[in-house]
Chains A and B, each alone.
Chain A
Amino acid sequence: MASNWQEETISVAGLDTQVFSGGSGEPLLVLHGAGGNPGWMPYCEALAAHFRVIAPSHPGFGASGRPDWMERVHDLAYFYRWFMEQQGLGPLPVVGFSMGGWLAAEMAAMCPTLLSRMVLVGAAGMKPRDAEIADIFLMTTEEGVALRFYDAAQVPDYDALFGELTPEDIQTAAWDREMAALLTWKPYMHNPKMPHLMAQVKLPTLIVWGKQDAIVPVECGDLYQQAIPGAGLTVIDHCGHSPHIERPDAFLAAVLPFLTFQAC
């Protein structure tokens, strides 16, 4: 059931954009988080059994170019409108992880006709009321990785993702981190207007959170759910900030019924 995935570079609004894609059928946009694009992962493969999965690297991340003027998460939302237009993509479902969830929420607020449904996974962008979003830039990369998982031992692809890295991987990770810091520095990891923006979202929305998320507290999932009319929330127990990496089976069990609902 290999999806024959590919990696290519396409030009969008004059910007080289790295895109991983695979599978067939309805297109599905996957937006990575502040840690960068991990590439074609097993969860992509599983989603590709139902969709044509499109997983670009945001401007400033991975092998994508970096225009000097892009400094805010909503700048990336503009970019993805151009991306979809250029690729001839109509309203499509989107899955956003962490900062990519914030980006999906900005797209939904800015141009809801781009999207057909939305999955926010451990999404940044919403200011918590009680706890704080962990300051990932104040800690070492290793501390950040440790904080990301409830139990690193249960992460199936841990070694592939965090094991031996090439000098190129390390350089890319540093530049990804720099871009992520620029996008999210102040206010840190959130848009103060988010509750107001989300109140007008009419998209079918599923929110997925690791119950033990130590980076973006699960209360942000509650706040997204309260803000977005009709949104559902699935909390995965024994799971940290990245359910798609830490507990891919539970993640897929949560999102696939929602994403494939129309097809049923």
Chain B
Amino acid sequence: MVDVYYFTEMPYAAFDETEAERYPSMRLTFPNSYFDADTAHGLFRDYFDQYQWAEEVGFDGLMINEHHNTPSCMDVAVNLSAAVLGRVTKGAKILLLGNMLPTTDNPVRLAEEVAMADVISGGRIIAGVVRGIGIESWANNTIPNHNRERFEECHDLMLAAWTRPGPFRWEGTHYHFRVINPWVLPVQKPHPPIWVPGTGSPETIVWAAKHGYTYAAFLVPMDATVRLYDAYREHAAEAGYEATSDNFAYMVCCVCADTDEEAQEIGKHYLWRMGHPLRGPVEYWAPPGYLGRRRPLRPHRGGAPSGDRKPLHTLSYEELQDAYHLVVGSPQTVLEKLSHMRDKLGFGSLLLEAQAGAMPHKATMRSLELLGRDVIPALKKG
């Protein structure tokens, strides 16, 4: 049985894309003078309508994420959108992938916010945690060298805030609190499930497996994902438990239309998402120390991390589809492809980034309807 989630990064694509060519990247330093709040107001309305519709037509969950200084993602506070979804939806899981632990200065406030969202939603929060791409170290001005250790300490403190009876004190390395005693605690006990996304970093696999947290592979080719899941299973066995499909999630881009031809046309909006937002100098994506202390140099070509693979922003529309990063088609075509992925990977959750760039709201709503009413039930049966 597979749970299927709807995800949009809530992009802002209402400007001439070629403007990005004048700047090193569409992230971090791309001028915010291209932003218009009235336009964004309309977009947020559409995106939240899409989430509500997704639940109504049969999606099991709603995934949200967070980035800063980028038109590719207007969700700048994942707990804010979680609170909204917690109120306007009824039963769907709300998957936060996630809170950026290393860049937060107040893990107790973070724990409170997630707990509040869990209470508002009646216990539907999945509290994903992320290290944040290097660009977030810039946008939040946190020392890149501390990324891994702050990730771990912030996680430990957040869990303590949820589970350890207060008041208590925390004198850590990066975080110091005199009186931790949050009044609002999560509905889910001992705490909301924790997930962690990855694009292939071995440390993330080890960490997720050690804690038994669901690992979500983001736009990783299927062969590489098989190896990552296998590595997870090995580390899980070492930690004394057997990983099941619940430990594995997989994220792909996906759009559905009544015909393949129509879908192929709409799907081109993903080229915006896979283009400029993933491009940029290595100094943005991997500031000094972000990859760890005195790590041996590895070649980094700039752009979003892609391991040894060809960077996503260099792939053509056809290549993106051939690699199954992007699934486009009629319900029948999409079902065939997603079923193939499910059978090959054995994940328990499938995260569909089913909106991208300036994809028209109507087309997105129709796509969600076809996915929810035709594809998801068949995918669950198969």
Contact = CB atoms under 8 A, between A and B. Distances in A.
Interface stretch (A11-19, A116-124, A173-181, A209-217): A173-181
A178 B294 contact: yes
20 contacts: A68-B293, A137-B283, A138-B138, A138-B283, A140-B281, A140-B283, A171-B296, A174-B288, A178-B293, A178-B294, A180-B288, A181-B144, A181-B287, A182-B143, A182-B289, A185-B144, A185-B145, A186-B141, A186-B142, A186-B143
A177 B287 CA distance: 10
B143 A181 contact: yes
B287 A137 contact: yes
Contacts of B144: 181, 185
Contact of B145 (A138, A139, A174, A181): A181
B25 to A, nearest CB: 11
B288 A137 contact: yes
Most A C-beta atoms less than 10 A away, residue of B145, B289, B296: B289
Interface in B279-314: 281-284, 287-289, 293-294, 296-297
Contacts of A181: 143-145, 287-289
Contacts of A175: 294
Contacts of B296: 171
A66 B296 CA distance: 15
Interface in B135-150: 138, 141-145
Contacts of A256: none
Interface string A154-179: 00000000000000001100110110
Interface string B326-364: 000000000000000000000000000000000000000
A76 to B, nearest CB: 16
A62 to B, nearest CB: 12
Interface of B: 29, 138, 141-145, 281-284, 287-289, 293-294, 296-297
Contact of B283 (A139, A178, A180): A139
Nearest first, the 8 closest Cβ-Cβ pairs linking A and B are A181-B288, A178-B288, A178-B289, A185-B143, A182-B145, A177-B288, A174-B297, A175-B294
Interface in A18-46: none
Contacts, number: 45
Given A137-B288, A140-B281, A140-B283, A178 B145 contact: yes
Looking at chain B's contact residues, the main secondary structure is loop
Given A66-B293, A174-B297, 6 more contacts: A140-B283, A170-B297, A178-B289, A181-B145, A181-B287, A181-B288
Most A C-beta atoms less than 10 A away, residue of B29, B143, B283, B296: B283
Contacts of A140: 281-283
Most A C-beta atoms less than 10 A away, residue of B144, B288, B296, B297: B288
A22 B331 CA distance: 77
A29 B91 CA distance: 69
Interface string A129-159: 0000000011110000000000000000000
A66 B143 contact: no
B322 to A, nearest CB: 33
B103 to A, nearest CB: 12
Contacts of B289: 178, 181-182
Nearest to A185: B143
B178 to A, nearest CB: 23
B14 to A, nearest CB: 27
Contacts of A66: 293-294
Nearest to A68: B293
A34 to B, nearest CB: 10
Contacts of B297: 170-171, 174
Contacts of A186: 141-143
Contacts of B294: 66, 175, 178
Interface string A171-213: 1001101101110011000000000000000000000000000
